[in-house]
Amino acid sequence: MKPPFDVRPALPILVSAVVLFHGCAIFTPVGNAITTQYENTVSYFNAYYNASRLFSDAEEEIRVARLAARGKEAQYGNIVPIPSTARQKLNMVIDKCSNILAFHPEGSLVDDALFLIGKSFFYQGDYVRAERKFTEMLVRYPGSSLALEAQMWLASTFENLNKPDEALESSQRVMSAAEEEGEDALDIDARMEAARMYRKKEDDDRALAMLQEALAHAGNAADRARIHAFQGDVLSEQGKFDAAADAYLQAADETADLYDRYYALLHAATARRDAGQFDDAQRILEDMREDFRFKAYLGSIGYELGRTLAAAGKTPEAIEIYRQLDTSFVRTNYGSLASIELARLYEHTLLDYQQARVFYARAAAFPTPAIFQEARSMSASFDRYFADHRKLVQIDSLARVLADTARVTPPDSAGTTLADSLRAKPVAAPPPPFPMQADSLRFARSRTEQELGDIFYSEIEVPDSAVFWYTRSMQDAVDSVRTPRVLYILGEIARTYPDRGYVPMEERYRELITRYPGSEYSLAVRRARGEAVDSARADSAAVRYHAAERLIDTDRSDEAVNEMKSLIHDYPGSPAAARSAYAIAWLYEWRLNTPDSAIAWYRTILQTQHNTPFAAVAKVKVGSIPTPADSAAAAADSSRTKEVNDETPVIRRPGGALQPGAKLPADAETKQPAKPAEEPIKKREDLQ
């Protein structure tokens, strides 16, 4: 008898048949579970794949943007903004990887997802969140194949968070691990990171030692080139310019990257220049200008060539280079830099203020961060300088007119033989277009000379000219409001420059205290000497007046007027109130150009301060200031003074050749030729 039929081999066939003929009704729960698991697995890997692809695309965009930005004109800050499309992709990476962490917290790609999120935050400049993600990954997955690279990213994150100690510790961990695992690229990156941190900690010797170790581990020319360039940077900051130039030249020889070669050669030239080797520096820069590959960098190359020629004393050649840049790179950073270098040469070397004024204005026309404030300030200073010179010319012209009108024409000698009715009468000169007083003109000249002294003292910073104009102002007229300040400043100049033969500081201070014992400047000198000062003199009104006077000195005339009006309201009986009223009238007359208001305030002084010294001056002023209605009459007299008004004010200090037909300035006779190479009057930092 045959054994019974074994159904076990046929069981799969029966199950398949049942499924085929009866659908999935019996095994639906099992099918759903399998399908769901499969779909979850697919979406899990797809999410990571898509995130990884998006990150690679964004990283490439950022790399290209940074390569394109190399050598371009620096904008505000040092961070190159990432492209907007790259930022969008990084945000998508963060979203996708966050979903992986949320729905698959125990998956095999969690460490990869954490790493991608950390790098995405890093590229976006969100270093706090980047640090958190890198640290989380290293804590949770210390044995990950990505741990060493994540440690390196963490070191860079600490650097950007300005935590040099943490960055140094992290980079040292990478060094020891990378050397054991043979990861030369990470080893070099870690040593260069450590060198940067040593520099931040102002330990350049250890930074150089670390770079030398990195050089020993460098296995290709590209790594050696960037290490040599880094060495050049450190040596240059140490003032070891010869060694720095050698390091830069080694970097230029080893690199195949065009920008890296340009960077190394340009800095080699500047190092040679700083070492005083002007011919070598000029040769390097001229060779670079002739190399068509550096066409994109002609602005910076020309700028450094101009600086090299100027440093070598080849001023005409430097001016030619700068003028080419000023024309070819107009309204760019290098055009503005060339303009301000021209302005400095004309101001300090060629002593031509007119050209200096032109080029300071050109430099201020385009906002280049490194020099914009200086250019704008100096342009305004030279504008005021020339305006005050024109004002002096006008005052001298009016003084000559006044002298002419004061003379009486003698009678005709032939008239003495005629009858009385026919005898020629004395012919008086025509009256002036508006009342003029010699004292008024003298005070106006003194005030203008004080303004010129202020410009040279605090803005252009030429102490010789400042002393000249301040001294002239006191010779022309003594003003009890302003003269104490002038004496105080002259004392300060003598103290600052004791070897220039100025009137000694103590003599100036003694005159100040003797002639103006109640002024704030006298009180300041006495306090500095430790002398007892009557507290009643240093009242609140005087303090407020002194603060308002500082507003005048900083060219904030409207604010000064408002503050002094408030002072008069609060302290009507104080001596500072009388001084404030006179200062307000003066500001309206000379700074704010509103003669009606000036006359009104001078009349106020006559009415309310008639017992003060300011009343006599105010009486003269009321009759001498032209009102707007007098302008037509004043214009009628312009033909008499045109020759004087057309005179060009002095545009240079002595020491340079005069232009054909130019006239020697009034202050030139008291000044010695400038010697900027031996004793610069004002030190300016070189632009880097």
Q: Using 50, 70 and 90 to split pLDDT, how confident is the model at 687?
A: very low
Tokens of 368: 């280049």
What local confidence, expressed as pLDDT, does residue 199 receive? Answer: 94
Residue 20 has pLDDT above 70, yes or no: no
Which has the higher per-residue pLDDT, 141 or 429? 141
Which has the higher per-residue pLDDT, 386 or 7? 386
Q: Does this model's pTM top 0.85?
A: no
Tokens of 605: 């002084």
Residue 26 has pLDDT above 70, yes or no: no
The three-class DSSP label of residue 656 is strand
- Indicate the range of 95-99, 406-410, 578-582 predicted with least confidence: 406-410
Residue 75 has pLDDT above 80, yes or no: no
The mean predicted confidence, pLDDT, of the chain is 80
If you count them, how many residues does the chain have?
688
292 Cβ neighbours under 8 A, 6+ residues apart: none
Q: Using 50, 70 and 90 to split pLDDT, how confident is the model at 638?
A: very low
Element (H, E) at 408: strand 408-409
Contact 560, 587 (CB under 8 A): yes
Residue 185 has pLDDT above 50, yes or no: yes
Distance CA(597)–CA(607), nearest Å, equals: 15
What local confidence, expressed as pLDDT, does residue 44 receive? Answer: 72
What local confidence, expressed as pLDDT, does residue 278 receive? Answer: 97
- If you ran DSSP here, which 8-state letter would residue 457 be given? I
Q: Using 50, 70 and 90 to split pLDDT, how confident is the model at 546?
A: confident
What local confidence, expressed as pLDDT, does residue 30 receive? Answer: 47
Distance CA(153)–CA(170), nearest Å, equals: 9
Can you tell me the mean pLDDT for 14-31?
Answer: 44
Residue 137 has pLDDT above 60, yes or no: yes
Backbone angles phi, psi at 427, to 5 degrees: -100, 115
Which has the higher per-residue pLDDT, 149 or 2? 149
- Indicate the range of 143-157, 170-184, 472-486, 500-514 predicted with least confidence: 472-486
Backbone angles phi, psi at 455, to 5 degrees: -60, -45
Residue 416 has pLDDT above 50, yes or no: no
Select, from the ranges 343-347, 363-367, 405-409, the one with the highest average predicted confidence (pLDDT): 343-347
Can you tell me the mean pLDDT for 373-391?
Answer: 94
- If you ran DSSP here, which 8-state letter would residue 348 be given? I
- Indicate the range of 28-32, 177-181, 242-246, 588-592 predicted with least confidence: 28-32
- Indicate the range of 49-63, 339-353, 519-533, 594-608 predicted with least confidence: 519-533
Can you tell me the mean pLDDT for 538-551?
Answer: 76
Element (H, E) at 280: helix 278-290
Contact 379, 357 (CB under 8 A): yes
What local confidence, expressed as pLDDT, does residue 265 receive? Answer: 97
Residue 90 has pLDDT above 90, yes or no: yes
Q: What region, left, alpha or beta, does residue 82 occupy, with left being phi > 0 and alpha being psi -120 to 50 degrees?
A: beta
Can you tell me the mean pLDDT for 580-584?
Answer: 91
Contact 455, 388 (CB under 8 A): yes
Q: Give 423's strand partners.
A: none
Q: Using 50, 70 and 90 to split pLDDT, how confident is the model at 649?
A: very low
- Indicate the range of 102-111, 479-488, 565-574, 662-671 predicted with least confidence: 662-671
Residue 570 has pLDDT above 90, yes or no: no
Which has the higher per-residue pLDDT, 616 or 624? 616
Residue 79 has pLDDT above 60, yes or no: no
What local confidence, expressed as pLDDT, does residue 543 receive? Answer: 75
Can you tell me the mean pLDDT for 281-298?
Answer: 95
Residue 155 has pLDDT above 90, yes or no: yes
pLDDT digits (tens, 9 = 90+) for 500-513: 999 999 999 999 98
Q: Using 50, 70 and 90 to split pLDDT, how confident is the model at 41?
A: low
Can you tell me the mean pLDDT for 402-417?
Answer: 53
Contact 225, 255 (CB under 8 A): yes
Can you tell me the mean pLDDT for 44-60?
Answer: 90
Q: Using 50, 70 and 90 to split pLDDT, how confident is the model at 258?
A: very high
What local confidence, expressed as pLDDT, does residue 66 receive? Answer: 86
Contact 602, 618 (CB under 8 A): yes
Which has the higher per-residue pLDDT, 566 or 681? 566
Which has the higher per-residue pLDDT, 292 or 26? 292
Radius of gyration over every alpha carbon of the chain, rounded to an integer in angstroms: 40
Residue 76 has pLDDT above 90, yes or no: no
What local confidence, expressed as pLDDT, does residue 107 receive? Answer: 85
What local confidence, expressed as pLDDT, does residue 522 receive? Answer: 85
Which has the higher per-residue pLDDT, 600 or 571? 600
What local confidence, expressed as pLDDT, does residue 436 receive? Answer: 53
Percentage with pLDDT > 70 across the chain: 76
Residue 445 has pLDDT above 80, yes or no: yes
Q: Using 50, 70 and 90 to split pLDDT, how confident is the model at 208?
A: very high
Residue 674 has pLDDT above 60, yes or no: no
Residue 119 has pLDDT above 50, yes or no: yes
